[in-house]
Amino acid sequence: MLTAPTRCRLTAAMRLAFLLVLFAFNTVGPTARAANFDVLCVIDSRGSDVCAIQLSGPLEQGDALRLDTLVTKTAAATTRRFVRWLILDSPGGSVGEAKQLADVVRNRILWTSNLHILRDGYQSQVENESAGFECASSCVLVLLAGANRILVSNPMANARIGLHRPYLSRAAQEKLSPGELAMAQQQAEEELRHLLERERMPKDLLETMMSRASTQIYWVTRKDLLRLDGGYSSWFEELITARCDWDKDFEAALLESASSAPERERERLRARVSQYLGQIQDCIEVETRRAQLARGRPAR
């Protein structure tokens, strides 16, 4: 079943599963098969109509507009409906389209994951890792754009998370002189560095990725995942701080006090935590619906 976490105070298991996917920076044009989109909506315990959209297949021209239209149409279906998750199951494809899809993710305040949320919801870490998807190549640009990201990594199952440097297609290389090829490769690497640094990828993992040829995939370990920043993206934290009066330190202190208080105080403190998180979640849902119902097209 689909679940909708109230605030992104992630469990330890969820914190294990956060970032990085195989990035094969391919310069070829649109692929022959477009992505498919599936939608699942459920009523959560708070009465909200929470939806997930699953993108499956290669990315090609027009997918960003298709997603943008689908998000708006889905959110407009009922008065308390909004799309929370974009689930990614893609080998990549058009880099340009991936960038536009990432713009849709940010503009419409979507959370991203390669977890099979539509089927299983949140289970144990082991169960989550056996129910994930592969997000490869330019798909990573979409995945990292999420307001929040929950990822799983298990190379032995469907959830494959790995790293290598960007590369040019064989067709593109055949058309370039060695000097032109060197310049094109350097430009691709510089652009990728900029995009991933903006999404706060740890520098050592970024360097590991850049040191690997396109045929030398580095599979991210659980130890790597533990070092990755979790929780909300910085831009989303600032958005809800300004619009929802979210106080990150206050929330952390409130949660800590509820967990460490004497038994006689815990029930009262837990009620206070629930009230506070509920207020923040209500505001997040309002802001998300507002963003998803606004007129507009994917940024170019």
| pLDDT tens column, 251-294 | 999 999 888 888 888 888 889 999 999 999 999 999 999 999 99
Is the whole model's pTM more than 0.75, yes or no?
yes
Distance from C-alpha of 195 to C-alpha of 234, rounded to nearest angstrom: 14
Question: Per-residue pLDDT tens for 162-217?
Answer: 777 777 878 888 889 999 999 999 998 898 888 888 888 788 888 988 898 877 87
Q: Is 123 exposed, middle or buried (0-12, 13-18, 19+ CB in 10 A)?
A: middle
The two structure tokens encoding residue 228: 């990755």
Q: Residue 142 pLDDT > 70, yes or no? A: yes
The pLDDT value recorded for residue 69 is: 96
More confident of the two residues 171 and 243: 243
The pLDDT value recorded for residue 243 is: 97
The pLDDT value recorded for residue 172 is: 83
- Per-residue pLDDT, averaged over 39-65, amounts to 91
Neighbour tally for 200: CB within 10 Å: 13
Neighbour tally for 221: CB within 10 Å: 12
The two structure tokens encoding residue 213: 């040829």
Question: Per-residue pLDDT tens for 70-129?
Answer: 999 999 999 999 999 999 998 887 878 988 999 999 999 999 988 876 555 545 555 555
Closest CA to 149 of 286, 12, 17, 3: 17
For residue 40, which amino acid is it? L
The two structure tokens encoding residue 20: 């990085």
The pLDDT value recorded for residue 8 is: 38
> How sure is the predictor about 26, in pLDDT bands with cuts at 50, 70 and 90?
very low
The pLDDT value recorded for residue 177 is: 92
The pLDDT value recorded for residue 290 is: 97
Class for domain 12-238+287-293, per CATH? alpha beta
Q: Is 260 exposed, middle or buried (0-12, 13-18, 19+ CB in 10 A)?
A: exposed
